[in-house]
Structure formats: structure tokens, C-alpha cells
Amino acid sequence: MAKIVGGYATSHVPAIGVAIDQAKTEEPYWQPVFAGYEWSRKWIEEVKPDVVFVVYNDHATAFSLELIPTFALGCAAEYAPADEGWGARPVPTVHGHPELAWHIAQSVILDEFDITIVNDMEVDHGLTVPLSLAFGQPHAWPCAVIPLAVNVVQYPPPTGNRCLQFGKAIRKAIESFPHDMRVVVFGTGGMSHQLQAQRAGLINPEFDQRFLDLLVNDPDAAAAIPHVDYLRDAGSEGIELVMWLVMRGALGDDVKELHRHYHVPASNTAVGHLVLEPK
């Protein structure tokens, strides 16, 4: 049977991808950011997942205001890196796992999560930056990837509780898959940041650290944070943190925190990173 062996949460700041692609990771500005991922790079090499399930949000590449799925599960065999306006990132094509993805789709839909199934889409920095942080710059990604795109761009996004409960349904789906494989679930986005209007550049370390603590130790409390609190305390893009709750729900009730990293700033964003292990 398939087994979830870890959870990996990280910000997906596009400038991090640029720093990797342009060999700037050792520059003084960027070195403290990437130093916090050295431990987890070794960890994931040792864990050797067969599949990573990546919860992320699309940034108007696969979807637009014409089509806004709340939860979109990729069931395709591959996903090309998207051109976000300055050319596609020089990263490998992402190869999916259609058999497991369709199994998850069937399981969660029958558990009354009405997702959108996607068989053709490109993936942007929201997915490729976390893969680069975890796996570096390989010629091919070392495992299959199943993408789950969550709408956190156009109001209303899903609640934290809905994301946490969806993660639990994903866990049930993965662990009922009748083939032996190791799965790591990624939650991406955040942490506090705002990209526009009078509060552009907002970062709130106090909110971020409290969220990290709640995510590990009291996910129900983290899931109860209302949209307005994210907006007020973590900026308009802080709502991306609900995607971490999908990952947390997939790990079960109790987890062990293996690694934590927090750095301010990277571009105009607070960078957070956790590695968790189900107990």
C-alpha cells in the first residue's frame, strides 16, 4: 500500500527561482535563504519519495478569471513549465502519476469533495520553485509529481478548515492505493506578504511564527483562522497559507517537527519552511 512518509511546507517566491536559475544562491542577499534548505535537501534524498503531491496555486497561467476551480487535481502524464511572461524556467518537464492521481480523484469525490480534474495544464513557479528547493537542478525530477492547484487568488478562497479536511481525505485516498510507494506531501505558498496597494511589502513575523506553531501542534486552531485575519495580519497574499493546511491534514493528527526555517525577506515575502513526519 502507498504510504505518506513526510510533509514539506515552503514558500514559493518567484524570485527564489530566479536566484537558482541565475546561480545567485551564494550571494550575500540569498545565502541565508538557501542555507535553511540544506538540511531538507539531504532529508528528501534519504526519504526517496516515489511521488510528491504538491499543493500550490496557479498564478494566471493554467487558469484565469474565465475559469476558477477551487481545487484542481492534475491527472495528466506530464506538465510543461509555464512561460509567466519572461520565458519558462529552465527546469525539467514535470512527470505525473496518472494512476495514483485518478485513484485520489475517485476517492475524494466519493468522499464528497467536488474537485476539478485537469488532464492538460502547464505549471508555474508555484510548483516548480518548491521542486527546485527540494531537489536542486537535476536533468530530470527524481520522482513523479501530482499537482493540486488551489484557488487563493480570486475571492472566495476555501477556508482553512475545508483545506484541513480535504487533506485528511487525500491521506485516506493515498493510503488506500494498492501499490507500495512512498509519498511526500508538499504545502506551498506564503508566508505573510502583500504585493499591492498601500500596504505593499507588509511582512508580519509574529503572525508567521504563530502559524507555524499552530500548524505543528494545533492544526484545528490554525484551520479556524478566518479569511479576514489573514488579510489584516498577513497581507492580501497571506491567504496562501491555507494550502499548508491541506498538507497538514494529510499527515494525520500527530506529527514530529524535523526542521524549521524562517527568513525575512526574500524579495518582498517572508520565507517559511517546515519538514514534518507523521507519528
Report which DSSP code applies to 158. P
Domain-embedded: residue 64: yes
pLDDT (tens digit per residue) in 99-158: 999 999 999 999 999 999 999 999 999 999 999 999 999 999 999 999 999 999 999 999
Domain-embedded: residue 238: yes
CA distance 57 to 240: 8
Domain-embedded: residue 277: no
DSSP, collapsed to helix, strand or coil, labels residue 47 as helix
Domain-embedded: residue 270: no
DSSP, collapsed to helix, strand or coil, labels residue 9 as strand
Gyration radius of the chain's alpha carbons: 17
pLDDT at 273: 98
CA distance 217 to 219: 6
Taking the whole predicted model, whether its pTM rises above 0.95 is answered as yes
Residue 103 catalytic? no
Q: Return mean pLDDT, the chain.
A: 97
Averaged pLDDT, 242-262: 98
Residue 125 catalytic? yes
CA distance 3 to 235: 35
Residues sharing a CB contact under 8 Å with residue 188, sequence separation 6 or more, in sequence order: 9, 10, 11, 12, 54, 55, 56, 57, 126, 127, 129, 130, 240, 243, 244
Residues sharing a CB contact under 8 Å with residue 130, sequence separation 6 or more, in sequence order: 8, 10, 12, 54, 56, 186, 188
Domain-embedded: residue 273: no
Name the strand (E) or helix (H) holding 105.
helix 98-110
pLDDT at 218: 98
Domain-embedded: residue 103: yes
Q: Is 264 exposed, middle or buried (CB count within 10 Å of its CB: 0-12, 13-18, 19+)?
A: middle
Q: Which of 103, 125, 261, 273 is catalytic?
A: 125
Domain-embedded: residue 50: yes
Determine the residue type at 205: P
CA distance 154 to 159: 13
Whole domain around residue 51: which residue ranges? 2-204+211-256
**Angle of helix 14-21 versus helix 125-135 axis, rounded to 10:** 50
Number of independent structural domains in the chain:
1
Q: Which of 12, 193, 261, 263 is catalytic?
A: 193
Domain-embedded: residue 183: yes
Contact 80, 93 (CB under 8 A): yes
Residue 76 has which C-alpha cell?
495528466
CA distance 41 to 46: 9
Averaged pLDDT, 77-93: 96
CATH code for position 245: 3.40.830.10
Q: State the pLDDT confidence band at 268, using cuts at 50, 70 and 90.
A: very high
